[in-house]
Amino acid sequence: MKDNSPKPVIPLPFPVYFWAVVILTGLGLADAIYLSISHYRVYTDIGYASFCAISKAINCDTVSQSPYSILWGAPVPVWGVFGYLCVLVFLPFAGSKEAEKVRLWPFLFWIFLGFSLYSLALGLISALYIYSYCLMCIVSYAINFLLLFYAWLIRRRFAQKGLIADLYLDVQFLWVKKRLQMILLTLVFGAGFWVMISNFPAYWNLAPPLLSESIPTGDTEDGHPWIGAIAPVLEINEFTDYQCFQCKKMHFFLRRLIETHPDKIRLVHHHYPMDDKVNPIVKEPFHVGSAAMSLLAIYAQSKGKFWEMNDILFNTDITEGTLNAKTLLKEAGVGTGETMPNIYDPGIQVKLLTDIQYGMELGITGTPAYIIEGQLYLGHIPPNYIEKITK
């Protein structure tokens, strides 16, 4: 008679599971290191674009540029590096003979559960607030869920009482068997945690140099504001959007370059907001409010305060309907009196629309864009021009 009873599951040898966790943790660490480097370069390297900056929806750089990429004063991927290093330090304890294939897996299960829940939270933030996804972040989410699965599987395969009871036994194991190592690790990681939340360099806070009265400013014959050399070696015409991160990064870089080489370079500003309300090439809502920001800058220009307002606007985050024009004008040093000036005056709007039309005629399809020596460059400035100034 045929025996139809289920056959018992024979677990693989413990090292198979253990080394799978080690490899996954190593991959997670490598991914977090890559994301940390990428995050740094997004803010500091004017020519950088990650390999996964594929589209509006799939773009690691967009995720890095969001305020959600910073947690407790440090970039999220740096916290990932910190977390995976902690796990790698604990794994030798879990693989030791004293652990008997049982100890620390409940402890690690709770850690991996925390990693996985945070991955879910980051995924929801990407979907609901950033509207863009990072491929390498998704890789880290998958690694975290696999680590959680393996910690659960090892417990089922080799021993289990209960997650809470076993966690208590894990803590006892660490305190009795590994007390000295745990004290040293607590001091090291505690110091690292303190450094990260209190002293991590905030390179993501982009800012231009203070405007110097010694650097000339003015308007071109056709009314565009310029800053820098009166007789420049190099003139750069920029077309920017105040809600464009790359525009902000590049503009502040150019402002610092002017501060360092004021007799060699001149920057001429043109408005090109990618706001569907004014820019015909934009077919759906995008950078809503950037047109109003440009109108405000044009009004400030009429009062001789364009570059003050320009710097302020690049550092102003707005959503639709939240542009406090009176406050920004006051910050830029423009007196508003008792009544709010009309930034939607037809004369101001004509200047903005003229800039947009000029940009369209040049073939500009996105920002930032630059005209240098008669050539159009989208999103970047060739290094040879920068070398021309810095030699």
Per-residue pLDDT of the chain (391 residues; tens, 9 = 90+): 455 656 666 667 888 889 999 999 999 999 999 999 999 998 888 777 788 877 778 888 888 888 899 999 899 999 999 999 999 988 988 888 887 888 888 889 999 999 999 999 999 999 988 888 899 999 999 999 999 999 998 888 876 777 788 888 878 888 887 778 888 888 888 888 888 888 888 888 888 888 878 888 999 998 999 999 999 999 999 999 999 888 998 998 999 899 988 889 999 999 999 998 899 998 888 888 889 899 999 999 988 899 999 999 998 877 655 777 778 888 888 876 555 666 777 888 899 999 999 999 999 998 899 999 999 999 888 888 888 887 7
Q: Is the CATH code 3.40.30.10 the one for domain 217-390?
A: yes
Of 71, 159, 144, the closest CA to residue 110 belongs to: 144
Classified as helix, coil or strand, 51 is: coil
**Which residues are bridge partners to 378 per DSSP?**
369
CA torsion through residues 252, 257, 259, 265, sign: negative
Of 310, 308, 192, 305, the closest CA to residue 241 belongs to: 310
Domains 14-199 and 217-390 share a fold: no
The amino acid at residue 200 is F
CATH H superfamily, domain 14-199: VKOR domain (1.20.1440.130)
Which residues 6+ apart lie within 8 Å of 380 measured at CB? 46, 47, 370
| Structure-token pair, residue 287 | 């950078």
- β-pairing, 234-240 vs 74-75, is unpaired
Domain ranges of the chain: 14-199, 217-390
**Which residues are bridge partners to 75 per DSSP?**
70
pTM tops 0.85, yes or no: no
